[in-house]
Amino acid sequence: MGRWEPDARGRLEQAALELYLERGFDNTTVAEIAERAGVTERTFFRHFADKREVLFSGSAPLKDAIVDAAVHAPAAASPMEAVTTGLEVAGAVIQQRGASVGKRQAVIAANPELQERELIKMASWAAALADGLRQRGVPDPAATLTAEAGIAAFRVAFTGWVQQPKRRNLPELIRESVEQLRAATAG
Amino acid sequence: MGRWEPDARGRLEQAALELYLERGFDNTTVAEIAERAGVTERTFFRHFADKREVLFSGSAPLKDAIVDAAVHAPAAASPMEAVTTGLEVAGAVIQQRGASVGKRQAVIAANPELQERELIKMASWAAALADGLRQRGVPDPAATLTAEAGIAAFRVAFTGWVQQPKRRNLPELIRESVEQLRAATAG
């Protein structure tokens, strides 16, 4: 392997997910991930701070995309509609990530500490979405409540989708989940 | 101090909260908490597994009370109404805990790790509430969505209340917050 490593990052991600699934997250070392990806440990650390970041580095750009889409939703859109627009964008991006999404989810489901990290990640999405709504002039508590409700709907949709990703379109499931939430709270 | 220690647990809690506020959670030792409470370290460990548990041991009975009230809400109550009933019970219990609630919240607000723990606690409440709704025959995803939405409303109400606990009644604020959520999702 020369100094030029085409898509080293992608291969590291792929190798890490495979190893986490085979041996468990806790039992996998950075050295093993690098070896399977055919790169040096140093290359690993050029891309990721640690082995947990392999699972969570995709979150920040996703959060930015959600908030950006929500903030720039049509001016006439209600707060819940703006949130839904943002979450649909996230759904489309996640869907494009393909099979690695299901693998990542299986790794997280097998590890309580990673589940906690995922929970904290979703809370940070909700906080960022609430900020986005405030930028649209939505006052609190409506901004916080709408963002939290939207994230709850997203999580339900995502959980259903990741089990059978081929069967349904994630953005559609997200919109459906928001409708179900509306019906549930109206009851 | 004799072997009989009236309300050692209460004094330990009080001492711990004071020290966490004065010195920070990370800079407080169990030895210092025990000393200020006038008991031995051994007594501390008879009541709490570690210094973090002082802040979180009140959560499990509260969760049980919420779920119990939700499960046993009138049969005619909608899922959201059952959840609200449960959360109002939690609100009443929290209100009775008095000034220690605000102190606890200030300790948590000052420490990111404790904030994460609090987040995980609230997620476990939502999961337990969703289970309670399933016991009432509410199917998924409505059970999960209603429980998550209810917890979001609770958090908003609690955050408002804890800043000025004398001014408003927490159960009332919770109901108000659920109404605001309903309006936000309907929009």
Sequence spans of domains, chain A: 8-54, 58-186
Looking at the complex, report in whole angstroms how far the Cα of residue A121 sits from the nearest Cα belonging to chain B.
10
pLDDT, residue B1, reads 45
Record the pTM: 0.89
Given a cut of 90, is residue A6 above it in pLDDT? no
Given a cut of 70, is residue A76 above it in pLDDT? yes
pLDDT, residue B2, reads 46
- Tell me which of B168 and A84 has the higher pLDDT: A84
pLDDT, residue A70, reads 97
pLDDT, residue A164, reads 83
- Tell me which of A123 and A167 has the higher pLDDT: A123
Top CATH class of A8-54 equals: mainly alpha
Interface of B with A (CB under 8 A): 78-81, 116, 119-120, 123, 140-142, 144-146, 148-149, 152-153, 155-156, 160, 177-178, 180-187
Q: What is the 3-state secondary structure (H, E, C) of chain B?
A: CCCCCCCHHHHHHHHHHHHHHHHCCCCCCHHHHHHHHCCCHHHHHHHCCCCCHHHHCCHHHHHHHHHHHHHCCCCCCCHHHHHHHHHHHHHHHHHHCCHHHHHHHHHHHCCHHHHHHHHHHHHHHHHHHHHHHHHCCCCCCHHHHHHHHHHHHHHHHHHHHHHCCCCCCHHHHHHHHHHHHHHHHHC
C-alpha span between B183 and A134 (Å, rounded): 17
pLDDT, residue A2, reads 45
For the beta carbon of residue B159, count every other beta carbon within 10 angstroms: 15
Q: Per-residue confidence at A3, pLDDT binned at 50, 70, 90?
A: low
B148 to A155: CB separation less than 8 angstroms, yes or no? yes
Interface of A with B (CB under 8 A): 78-81, 116, 119-120, 123, 140-142, 144-146, 148-149, 152-153, 155-156, 160, 177-178, 180-187
Looking at the complex, report in whole angstroms how far the Cα of residue A89 sits from the nearest Cα belonging to chain B.
19
Peptide bond between residue A141 and the one before it cis (omega within 30 degrees of 0): yes
Please indicate whether the domains covering A8-54 and A58-186 agree at the CATH topology level.
no
Per-residue pLDDT of chain B (187 residues; tens, 9 = 90+): 445 567 899 999 999 999 999 999 999 999 999 999 999 999 999 999 999 999 999 999 999 999 999 999 999 999 999 999 999 999 999 999 888 999 999 999 999 999 999 999 999 999 999 999 999 999 999 999 999 999 999 999 999 999 887 778 999 999 999 999 999 988 6
- Nearest partner of B48 among B23, B28, B67, judged by Cα: B28
Which residue's structure tokens are 């349904």? A168
Looking at the complex, report in whole angstroms how far the Cα of residue B81 sits from the nearest Cα belonging to chain A.
8
Tens digits of residue pLDDT in B76-92 = 999 999 999 999 999 99
Top CATH class of B58-186 equals: mainly alpha
